[in-house]
Amino acid sequence: MLSLTFTLKGVLNNTMKKHIVTLIASVTLASSATLAHAEEVKIGAAGADGEYTKTLVPALSKALQKYGYTATAEISAGSQENIDNVWSGKLPAGLSQLDVAALNMVGKKPSSAKGHLILMGKFAPEALFCAAKKGGKVASYDDLTDPEKPGLKVSVGKEGSGTARTFEYLMTLDADLSRVELMKEGNPEIQLNRLLSGGRDLVCFVMMPDLDNELIQTVVKHKKLVYININKPVFTNAEVGGIRVYGLMEVPVSKGFFGWRAKKVKTLVTWVGVAVNDESTDEKLLSALAKVALKGNILPRNSLAAKAASLYEKFKVR
């Protein structure tokens, strides 16, 4: 009897194992079949090694599978090129900073533009960092708008870069900021050297808050460089389509000693979303992206983008 019981248990266990294996195989085949029939869409990203390409597009792709799509990253120069491609209908969607999208929404549309831009979601924060030379011409934002200091040279990255477009948008909000001269050149490390030698008065760059970022730390660790605060209400009150363009954050730029004496900079933070075109983007894809955007948190927990979002929630100015 005892032997029979064990034999029956063994048969049942083997049978259950077979069913479980069959179930797993069926689910795997079903998933593979779903992916095989999913429509692939290209989403404008940025550089091959950046978070737009490595994290945001794959996260969107995973979320879109539920609606019959997969997404691949289209390498680009960033937000403005993505928007240009969405305007023209070359791409159905592209990642963009909210402030860059806002600039395109309030400005004159390109002659080749079709329809209207819509920005969906707020997936990851990007902060504006501006480095000045200690004892230089710029000690605060007010120096940039001082009529006694016209022509201050502000490095903002290449023409059409996210930082350059950010500053162009800020100029629409504060007309006095147009007194500065925007230096549209790449390689922020070279620009920091020009700042130290007097060839630049301010070097700015937009990126996700990250305590381990080498460029952020280069400024923090240099004895002659310092970040300035940018927290004017004219910026933090700006809206487009009823959406606040900027938040304000005390961004940690050094860890300190167990948090003690950690350095922070109070500055503007915008968000990365997905820009689409209400005329040329397929309606089914529009609906799918809208649902993903409403879902909110789609990022892998350990990604830089997710950590930046968590950091913003912890250090945002309420």
Q: Which long-range CB contacts under 8 A does 239-245 form with residues at least 24 apart?
A: 240/98, 240/101, 240/102, 240/105, 240/106, 241/105, 243/98, 243/119, 245/98, 245/99, 245/102, 245/169, 245/270
Which domain range does residue 75 map to? 38-124+274-303
Asked if residue 248 and residue 151 are part of one domain, the reply reads yes
pLDDT digits 0-9 by tens, 134-157: 999 999 999 999 999 999 999 999
Taking 90 as the threshold, does the pLDDT of residue 33 lie above it?
A: no
For the chain, what percent of residues have pLDDT higher than 90?
80
Taking 90 as the threshold, does the pLDDT of residue 262 lie above it?
A: no
Asked if residue 131 and residue 55 are part of one domain, the reply reads no
- Cβ neighbours of 5 (radius 10 Å): 9
CA distance linking residue 152 with residue 73, whole number of Å:
38
CA distance linking residue 214 with residue 288, whole number of Å:
37
Q: Give the sign of the dihedral formed by CA 39, CA 91, CA 273, CA 52.
A: positive
Asked if residue 254 and residue 187 are part of one domain, the reply reads yes
Q: What is the DSSP letter of 260?
A: B
The phi and psi torsions of 200 (rounded to 5 degrees) equal -135, 155
Mean pLDDT of the region 182-187: 96
Taking 70 as the threshold, does the pLDDT of residue 3 lie above it?
A: no
Asked if residue 130 and residue 267 are part of one domain, the reply reads yes
CA distance linking residue 79 with residue 82, whole number of Å:
5
Asked if residue 150 and residue 212 are part of one domain, the reply reads yes
- Residue 191's CATH number: 3.40.190.10
As for how many domains the chain has, the answer is: 2
Q: Where are the beta strands (DSSP E) in 98-171?
A: 117-133, 153-155
CA distance linking residue 201 with residue 143, whole number of Å:
10
Asked if residue 266 and residue 130 are part of one domain, the reply reads yes
What is the model's pLDDT at position 110?
79
Check if the beta carbon of residue 195 is closer than 8 Å to that of residue 203. Answer: yes
Asked if residue 70 and residue 173 are part of one domain, the reply reads no
Mean pLDDT of the region 255-281: 89
pLDDT digits 0-9 by tens, 35-62: 567 899 999 999 999 999 999 999 999 9
Asked if residue 181 and residue 209 are part of one domain, the reply reads yes
Taking 70 as the threshold, does the pLDDT of residue 111 lie above it?
A: yes
pLDDT digits 0-9 by tens, 288-317: 999 999 988 899 999 999 999 999 999 999
Residue 257 confidence class, pLDDT cut points 50, 70, 90:
low
